[in-house]
């Protein structure tokens, strides 16, 4: 079993704490750090509810100092670490210009020697789309096209792409990712997200929202993605599945039994000293005893 620290950037947004968390996690045996994205938070009384929290508000996510840009935060801690992987969960791709995003992601992957994993999604907050000047209603179609366009820029020395929403001809976009590709893990639980993960993803984040029974919903989502991948002629076992919800060895065994490859946990401590102790103990008591799952 692989273990990652989720909400790493929002839990430790300040420079000293960010570096301390990244180094402590690497030393404790965590495989990865994961940073979420929301460019802005809508504060109007009638704003669209944020379904990731029971109260529909994003305040708890940002309570320690906002929501740092994930790629910038990950680049900052990359320079202070050597092997821990750097992930987004999730980057809201249709809020970005895809050629610029491809360049930024490739640069981070290049500088970190191939450690970047992009967890990506379409998001569901129209106010955020409006604030960045991007169309909300066609975000799914643009997401699919942007994935293809970014992969072409990473893969080809001289890249060309012609789509409905993005087009370029004979362009070089360097530096390239170390492996000429960056893993794309699709987040969401809608039919479209499941289809996208099965057809285009290197992995899948099966979102289980507050109030849902994870032991019912999670296996169903995993199996749906695997079945659609197999139907499309892809190897379902080549996909990597990431979920949250476990903090013990016994809980991790159940997650492994339903096909989960990586579990994300949030660090509960807020101070640096307490965080280091929590992360070290988790490594000794849980990570060290789940390597065979």
**What does pLDDT average to over the chain?**
97
Examine the pLDDT at 147 and tell me if it is beyond 90: yes
Query: How large is the average pLDDT for residues 62-84?
Result: 97
Q: How far apart are the first and last CA of the chain?
A: 5
What mean pLDDT comes out for the span 160-168?
A: 98
Q: Supply the pLDDT for residue 209.
A: 85
- DSSP annotation of 8 reads H
Confidence of residue 76 (pLDDT cuts 50, 70, 90): very high
Query: What integer pLDDT is reported at residue 138 of this predicted model?
Result: 97
Query: In the chain, how many domains are there?
Result: 1
Domain hosting 111: range is 2-289
- pLDDT tens per residue, range 35-71: 999 999 999 999 999 998 899 999 999 999 999 999 9
Could you tell me the CATH number of the domain that includes residue 229? 3.20.20.30
d(CA 225, CA 192): 11
State pLDDT tens for residues 109-139: 999 999 999 999 999 999 999 999 999 999 9
What span, in angstroms and rounded, lies between the C-alpha atoms of 230 and 228? 5
Alpha-carbon gap, residue 41 to 97, rounded angstroms: 20
Q: Is 259 exposed, middle or buried (0-12, 13-18, 19+ CB in 10 A)?
A: buried
- Cα-Cα-Cα-Cα dihedral sign, residues 262, 22, 67, 176: negative
200-230: per-residue pLDDT in tens?
Answer: 999 999 989 888 999 999 999 999 999 999 9
């Amino acid at each position: 079993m692989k273990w990652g620290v989720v909400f790493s950037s929002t839990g430790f947004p300040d420079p000293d704490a960010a570096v301390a968390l990244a180094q402590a996690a690497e030393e404790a045996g965590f495989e990865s750090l994961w940073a979420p994205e929301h460019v802005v938070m809508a504060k109007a009384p009638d704003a669209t509810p944020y379904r990731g929290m029971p109260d529909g508000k994003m305040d708890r996510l940002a309570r320690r100092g906002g929501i740092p840009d994930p790629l910038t935060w990950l680049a900052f801690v990359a320079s202070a670490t050597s092997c821990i992987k750097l992930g987004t969960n999730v980057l809201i791709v249709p809020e970005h210009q895809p050629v610029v995003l491809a360049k930024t992601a490739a640069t981070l992957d290049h500088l970190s020697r191939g450690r970047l994993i992009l967890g990506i999604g379409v998001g569901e907050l129209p106010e955020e789309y409006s604030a960045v000047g991007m169309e909300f209603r066609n975000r799914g179609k643009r997401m699919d096209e942007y994935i293809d366009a970014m992969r072409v820029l990473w893969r080809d020395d001289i890249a060309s792409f012609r789509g409905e929403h993005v087009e370029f001809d004979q362009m070089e976009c360097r530096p390239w990712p170390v492996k000429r590709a960056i893993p794309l893990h699709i987040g969401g639980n809608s039919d479209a997200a499941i289809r996208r993960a099965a057809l285009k993803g290197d992995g899948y984040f099966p979102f289980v929202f507050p109030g849902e029974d994870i032991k019912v919903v999670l296996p169903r989502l995993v199996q749906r993605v695997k079945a659609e991948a197999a139907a499309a002629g892809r190897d379902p076992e080549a996909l990597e599945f990431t979920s949250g919800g476990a903090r013990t060895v016994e809980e991790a065994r159940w997650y492994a039994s339903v096909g989960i490859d990586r579990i994300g946990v949030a660090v509960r401590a807020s101070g640096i000293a307490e965080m280091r102790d929590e992360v070290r103990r988790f490594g000794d008591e849980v990570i060290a005893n789940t390597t065979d799952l």
